[in-house]
Amino acid sequence: MKKNILFLLFLIFTISFNYAQERFATKSGMINFEASVPSFEEVKATHNSVSAILKSNGDFASLALVRGFRFKVALMEEHFNESYIESSKYPKATFSGKIKDFNSSELSGVQKDYVLLGTVSMHGKEKKIETTALI
Amino acid sequence: MSKKLKFVVLFFFLFSGTYFLYNYLYQNHRNIQKEPVEVSVSSSDLVGFFNKNESEKILNKTVEIFGKITEINSKSLTIDNKVQCSFEIEVNAFKLNQIVTIKGRCIGFDELFGLVKIDQSSIIK
């Protein structure tokens, strides 16, 4: 179950950026993940106050306080915090990395795919990932 | 014991068992708004808890903080540039520099911005 959560962790950032000193930042980003299985109560949570900073050179950092994940079922939220993610021991989930070939001056209203490389760390473990970011 | 009585007793246990199981599985979320306040401090004292490594005293607890609004977003207010309170509803009836008291659940310290985060907030004053 612990591994499942890690692997099925599906991050969607809907970020409202504030422009300040050549960096884009938000304090109210959103992370959703879902690890549901058929014919069972949906295992799905949302976090609405994730911090994220994107610098103009493509450096990206994000932090979520894991206790902020909200589930539909209260007992599931309790088990998630106490038995699986152990949020009192590991209160944070972070990501830090770099967006390849990113140039903030090229940004426009058109969405574009970028390659995002970095390290996810949560529950005391670190894992390198490479994924696509839509900006 | 008559057959009928056995049946009634069995039915009673089955029914109450299901009832308690259901209530256990689908218990309600914490209602922060209705819970009594456990810690009531100013925004800078709240940050002090994390600087002094005493965060376990306030984490996941219902806290009440007071201070000046320094930033307004659609669903969150920042107090004294030290505490960010997220709401489940839109908050736009506020002005910058207004003094407020807010109740919510403390979820931790965010190093990226140097802010303490509070969710499920509600306005007290």
pLDDT under 50 in chain B at which residues? none
The CATH number given to whatever domain includes residue A16 is 2.40.128.110
The answer to whether B28 faces chain A, any CB pair under 8 Å, is: yes
What size, in residues, is chain A? 135
Structure confidence by residue, pLDDT tens digits, B29-62: 888 888 888 888 888 888 888 888 877 888 888 9
Contact between A60 and A97 under an 8 Å Cβ cutoff? The reply is yes
Query: What is the structure's pLDDT at A105?
Result: 74
Name chain B contacts of A91, Cβ cutoff 8 Å.
59, 108
User: What total of structural domains would you count in chain A?
Assistant: 1
Minimum CA–CA partner of A68 in chain B: B107
Query: What is the structure's pLDDT at A29?
Result: 86
Query: What is the structure's pLDDT at B26?
Result: 87
Query: What is the structure's pLDDT at B17?
Result: 94
Q: How far apart are CA B99 and CA B29, in angstroms?
A: 30
Closest in B24, B27, B112 to A53, CB measured:
B112
Position A17 pLDDT exceeds 70:
no
Which stretch of DSSP H or E encloses residue B83? Answer: strand B83-86
Q: How far apart are CA A131 and CA A124, in angstroms?
A: 21
- The sign of the dihedral angle between the CA atoms of B89, A17, A20, A118 is positive
> What phi and psi, each to the nearest 5 degrees, are found at residue B54?
-110, 30
Of A14-28, A38-52, B50-64, the poorest mean pLDDT is in: A14-28
Domain that holds residue A94: 2-134
Minimum CA–CA partner of B31 in chain A: A74
CB within 8 A of B83, min separation 6: which ones?
B43, B46, B47, B65, B67, B115, B116, B117, B118
Q: Which residue has the tokens 């599931």?
A: A76
Higher pLDDT residue, B7 or A16?
A: B7
Structure confidence by residue, pLDDT tens digits, A64-83: 999 889 998 889 999 999 88
Name chain A contacts of B59, Cβ cutoff 8 Å.
67, 88, 91
Asked whether the ipTM of the predicted complex exceeds the cut of 0.90, the reply is no
Q: Does domain B39-123 have CATH number 3.20.20.370?
A: no
Query: What is the structure's pLDDT at A2?
Result: 46
Residues of A numbered 35-74 whose beta carbons fall under 8 angstroms of chain B's beta carbons: which are they?
48-49, 51-53, 61-63, 65, 67-68, 73-74
Determine which of A67, A73, A121 to mutate to test the interface with B (most B C-beta atoms within 10 Å).
Answer: A67
Contact between B103 and B33 under an 8 Å Cβ cutoff? The reply is yes
Query: What is the structure's pLDDT at A4?
Result: 45
Position A16 pLDDT exceeds 50:
no
Chain-chain contact of A52 with B112 (C-beta, under 8 angstroms):
yes
Name chain B contacts of A51, Cβ cutoff 8 Å.
110, 112-113, 115
CB within 8 A of A7, min separation 6: which ones?
none
Helix/strand/coil (H/E/C) assignment for every residue in chain A: CHHHHHHHCCCCCCCCCEEECCEEEEEEEEEEEECCCCCCCCCEEEEEEEEEEEECCCEEEEEEEHHHCEECCHHHHHHHHHHHCCCCCCCEEEEEEEECCCCHHHCCCCCCEEEEEEEEEECCEEEEEEEEEEC
Reported pTM: 0.76
pLDDT confidence tier of residue A106, bands split at 50, 70 and 90: confident
Query: What is the structure's pLDDT at A3?
Result: 45
Query: What is the structure's pLDDT at B1?
Result: 66
